[in-house]
């Protein structure tokens, strides 16, 4: 009996010791798991903070690619920058815009000045949210650019040119990463652009545009590659416009402290007869939401009426806060 009692007590002690060791091991495992999760969260936060506060992060905000940026439908947002250039100087103003449609007459010469003003108003609205796997968005956009001979009193200060650009865009978020290179989104746009003038000075075209946006380090890059919807004969206001204005466009943005730099590059992708357009902009805050802007450009297609006209332009103005 004594031997059995001793054996029974010994068994109970071993079970108690094993149970205590098991509880201790579970606590250690739980603590280890929490530590691993904390490290993973810290790494994710650190990874996201690489782009925090830099220009590239605005891709997510502009197109509401992340859930935290979503604002629903039918609310006006800024699309492209909204600005006014109070004074811009052209080395070669287009005083007699001649198109390439040989069936149309040559317009009269007008004594436009080298200096004029320009403003851009650009808005978009989301009309459908969460299409295709609850991710894609459908947007309507509208951009207007006006070129104003405001200092030309002899001609009663006319608007030399105004361009209207409505478009329908489908945007789908992506999150493809290779090192510092991140593809943020892809989309397609049906785009119309025209100047609303009579036949002799009429300029218009329609395009299907493939859109991609990506980040590379501190740079935000948007690419547009388009195919013109062709028109025939007399209906074509601007034959061969893609050979001058281009077939693709890159917009590159970079932010450094309070400075924001952007570069727009268009090219016709024809290496034998290469043409295109380049525009550099620099903005810096003045007071509150108002920012100063310096803009310089060179090439073809500063406006639709100038699609086949080459000039160099520099101007100073102000950018207004986005909606």
Known catalytic residues?
Answer: 192, 194
Alpha helices, DSSP H only, in the chain? 2-49, 58-63, 131-135, 241-244
Nearest-5° Cα angle at 242, 236 to 247: 140
Q: Return all residues near 144 (Cβ < 8 A) that are at least 6 apart.
A: 120, 121, 122, 162, 163, 164, 165
* Exposure letters 241-273 (e unless 16+ CB within 10 A, then b): bbbbbbbbbebbbbbeeeebebebbbbbeeeee
Tokens of 193: 């652009």
Provide the 8-state DSSP code for 3: H
Provide the 8-state DSSP code for 258: T
In angstroms, rounded to a whole number, what is the distance separating the alpha carbons of residues 104 and 163?
21
Question: For the CA atoms of 282, 149, 106, 239, what is the dihedral angle to 10 degrees?
Answer: 30
- Which of 188, 214, 165 is CA-nearest to residue 65? 214
Tokens of 59: 């891709």
Q: How far from 94 is each of 133, 199, 291, 312, CA to CA, in Å? A: 49, 18, 30, 11
Is residue 36 within 8 A of residue 43, CB to CB? The reply is no
In angstroms, rounded to a whole number, what is the distance separating the alpha carbons of residues 103 and 321?
45
3-class secondary structure, 123: strand
């Amino acid at each position: 009996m004594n031997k059995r009692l001793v054996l029974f007590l010994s068994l109970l002690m071993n079970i108690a010791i094993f149970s205590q060791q098991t509880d201790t091991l579970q606590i250690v495992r739980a603590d280890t798991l929490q530590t691993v999760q904390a490290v993973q969260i810290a790494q994710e936060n650190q990874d996201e903070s690489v782009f925090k506060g830099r220009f590239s992060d605005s891709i997510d905000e502009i197109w509401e690619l992340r859930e935290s940026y979503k604002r629903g439908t039918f609310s006006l947002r800024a699309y492209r920058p909204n600005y006014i250039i109070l004074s811009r100087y052209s080395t070669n103003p287009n005083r007699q815009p001649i198109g390439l449609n040989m069936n149309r007459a040559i317009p009269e010469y007008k004594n436009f000045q080298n200096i004029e003003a320009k403003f851009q108003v650009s808005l978009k609205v989301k009309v459908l949210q969460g299409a295709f796997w609850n991710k894609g968005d459908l947007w309507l956009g509208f951009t207007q650019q006006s070129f104003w001979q405001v200092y030309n009193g002899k001609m009663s200060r006319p608007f030399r040119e105004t361009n209207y650009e409505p478009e329908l865009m489908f945007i789908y978020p992506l999150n493809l990463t290779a090192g510092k290179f991140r593809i943020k989104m892809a989309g397609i746009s049906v785009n119309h652009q025209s100047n609303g003038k009579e036949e002799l000075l009429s300029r218009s075209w329609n395009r299907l545009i493939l859109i991609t946006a990506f980040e590379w380090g501190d740079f935000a890059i948007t690419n547009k590659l388009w195919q013109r919807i062709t028109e025939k004969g007399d209906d074509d206001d601007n034959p061969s416009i893609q050979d001058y204005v281009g077939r693709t466009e890159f917009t590159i943005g970079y932010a450094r402290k309070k400075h924001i730099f952007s570069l727009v590059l268009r090219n016709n992708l024809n290496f034998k007869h290469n043409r295109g357009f380049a525009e550099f902009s620099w903005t810096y805050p003045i007071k509150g939401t108002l920012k100063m802007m310096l803009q310089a450009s060179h090439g073809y297609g500063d406006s639709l009426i100038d699609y086949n006209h080459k000039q160099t332009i520099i101007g100073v103005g102000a950018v207004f806060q986005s909606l």
